[in-house]
Amino acid sequence: MSFFSIYKLYISSKRRYVRALKNLLGFIPGNLYLYQMAFRHKSVAVAVKKGAKNSNERLEFLGDAILGAVVAELLFKMYPYKDEGFLTEMRSKIVSRVNLNQLARKLGFDELIQYDSKMVNYPGKSSSLLGDAFEALIGAVYLDKGYLFTRNFLLNRIIKPHVDIHLLEQTETNFKSRLIEWCQSTGSEVLFEVTNNAEGESAKLFTVDAIIAGEVKGTGRDYNKKNAEKLAAEKACEALGII
Amino acid sequence: MSFFSIYKLYISSKRRYVRALKNLLGFIPGNLYLYQMAFRHKSVAVAVKKGAKNSNERLEFLGDAILGAVVAELLFKMYPYKDEGFLTEMRSKIVSRVNLNQLARKLGFDELIQYDSKMVNYPGKSSSLLGDAFEALIGAVYLDKGYLFTRNFLLNRIIKPHVDIHLLEQTETNFKSRLIEWCQSTGSEVLFEVTNNAEGESAKLFTVDAIIAGEVKGTGRDYNKKNAEKLAAEKACEALGII
């Protein structure tokens, strides 16, 4: 261990924080400022230069993109014979807010995150506080250590030990059945209707409307009719706030 | 230049293809198979093992994610005082199908792409053939050369010389006016209608339907009415194939 690491872990004024991060991450962080920012919810952020806030939202934007790339490669290589529709669906399952919140809780983020409990409904059921901080942390690791390090950290420390991809594969996010259930519970009629394509479009392309109580709530288009229905159902679920 | 490079460029049976790629990319490709796949539209793909096709769609999934990460970092560093909403919007402009199609055309992808002209409406106005191949190419470069190489390739060879980010910053992707224009040109009536929220939902949340010729073509929800309209217009544009 280098002198600098020993200093950070045992001598510096931030040694407790550094040790907590090391326990969480498995490595000694370089630029502490980035990690502190990753765990700072906007409810406790203050405005810095030009009115920008020092909250974790910008890091979340970056981390979300890095996580997306790492998971895309993982799935691409893990499932060499599955099509891009399957890969896209699997990725949304892995990076869903529900899954990231659970992961962040498992990893013990609760203890490091900073937020104003008067302003944030946490630990509320729909809170995305932890998942957001998790993505921000990935952004921080990326800026601190680069892509390869972040990729290996995510694969070896987070995904392989904590995410059961084969289990996720089996749990289907079935928007169509969810939509039908919701309509039954609210007593609304649901219909899937194939509409005519615009002039000049291939006859093989299906356009399907999901019609709930007489109103189009979602439209899906695909070369496969079933997929077009699925997409229409997904959009309708979104529009109706069934998530 | 190594003997292997000389062999590839001047001796191998694929030398013409290798030279065309080198002109396009600025480097000598390693695994040619990946690049051939990136330029193969599904209309000419054949089924390989277990029914998976050797088209560019899987590579497109991967390349889209890598491009997203590279552009996210670029914007994060280019605009240190802008919030994540701005960064997200700027990224969608850069990676939009319209922009990627244009880029791919500028770079001369037309000459390398393989597709069945009987099945594909290309060069049709709404065709995403080129943009899709562009993303697939990024996936191929990533698998062939790794992240850092791909990042530098994208930044130095593609984005810096060909994308005017400051210009994109000023051009607003105004889906509402685009939708209205389209409706005028086709003689359809367009309406934006605020609908009632479901029970138990916050009264502050607006749900807006974009209704074209009497049919709901898109629905947007936001705490800001203008934003809900914008989202509804965007979805309607998508559903109607106006890109």
Query: Is residue B138 in some structural domain?
Result: yes
Q: What is the mean pLDDT of each run of 10 residues along chain B (243 residues)?
A: 86 90 92 95 83 88 97 97 89 87 88 82 69 96 98 96 90 76 81 75 76 87 78 84 69
Range scoring the smallest mean pLDDT among A99-113, A184-198, B27-41, B159-173: A184-198
DSSP 8-class letter at B154: I
Residues A179 and A154 in one domain: no
Average pLDDT over residues A92-105: 87
Containing domain of residue A223, as a range? 175-240
With beta carbons less than 8 A apart as the criterion, state whether B233 and B181 touch: no
Identify the residue whose tokens are 């079935």: A174
Give how many domains chain A has, as a whole number: 2
Identify whether residues B137 and B193 lie together within a single domain: no
Under the banding of pLDDT at 50, 70 and 90, the label for residue A8 is confident
Residues B56 and B73 in one domain: yes
CA closest to A198 among chain B residues: B240
Q: In what order do the strands lie in the sheet with B215-222?
A: B190-195, B206-212, B215-222
Instruction: CATH number of the domain at B204, please.
Output: 3.30.160.20
* Shared domain check, B208 and B108: no
Report which listed range, A178-192, A213-227, B19-33, is most confident.
Answer: B19-33
A135 marked as binding residue: yes
Both B125 and B220 in one domain: the answer is no
Mutate to test the interface with A, among B55, B62, B129 (most CBs of A within 10 A): B62
Same domain, B180 and B165: no
**Same-domain check for residues B162 and B227:** no
A13 belongs to a structural domain: no
Name the residue among B204, B239, B209, B238 with its Cα closest to residue B222. B204
Same domain, A69 and A105: yes
- Do A155 and A222 belong together in one domain? no
pLDDT tens for A141-169 read 999 999 999 999 999 999 999 999 998 88
Q: Find out whether A111 is annotated in a ligand binding site.
A: no
ipTM for this model: 0.75
- The CA-atom distances, in angstroms, between A89 and each of A35, A177, A231 are 30, 16, 11
Residues of A in Cβ contact (< 8 Å) with B198: 186, 240-241
Asked if residue A26 belongs to a domain, the reply is no
List chain B residues with CB under 8 Å of A207.
239
